[in-house]
Homo-oligomer: A and B are copies of this chain.
Amino acid sequence: LLQRAESLCAAAHECARRGWVPATSGNFSFRSSVEDGGRIFITASGLDKGAISPGDLLEIDLSCRVLAGPGPLDNLDKVKPSAETKLHGVIYRDRPDARAIFHVHSIWNTLISDRFADDGAVVLEEYEMLKALSWVATHEHRELVTVLENSQDYAALSLLLTETLLENPTAHGVLLRRHGLYTWGESIAGARRHLEALEFLFEVESRRLGYES
């Protein structure tokens, strides 16, 4: 578990270096195997993701109750999981293969989420980089990244996300408008690969459309 916690923190540090989690934004989690209890380990709210260490992860169950925090147990009432922890719970419930989830706020995912919000989705196709997404074997693949309207009502967002995951069983990520990207993978390395691929594609596609307009 410690090794995976360190791997998650290393991924978070790299995202910080790239400017994808400014101002303490973003959150990162992984799920332990069924033999290890199937628990979720997630970054606590309000921390600089460029400086987190395994001791800053909260242990929660699928219904998002905090089981343990970085400090001693009687401090648990002061440890606050991010409001967005609920969305991690939804993804782990509805994507049984997902073992890690990354949520970041980049310049390009914010821009493209706004540009295509009225269409309901960003369409990515004909790029070799699509092959970095699990099960995709050709650049002729068509990836649909749904854009949900942003909201502070996380219960409502959870329902929207549930529907979206149901309707798009092969999707690798979901965007919140002017907010950010959720992506997941079958391992921490897999989630990181999906994140890097999608962020690359968001930037290329945004710049390409900039030429044309």
Contacts and interface: CB of A to CB of B under 8 A. Distances in A.
Given A24-B193, A105-B129, A178-B139, A210 B208 contact: no
Interface stretch (A60-68, A73-81, A162-170, A197-205): A197-205
Given A179-B139, A189-B48, A25 B211 contact: no
Copies of this chain, count? 4
Interface in A120-140: 126-129, 132, 137-140
Give the size category of A's interface with B.
35 or more
Nearest to A133: B23
A107 B111 CA distance: 16
A61 B114 CA distance: 46
A23 B34 CA distance: 27
Interface of A: 18-19, 22-25, 48, 105, 107, 110-111, 114-115, 126-129, 132, 137-140, 150, 152, 176, 178-180, 189, 192-194, 196-197, 199-200, 203-204, 207-211, 213
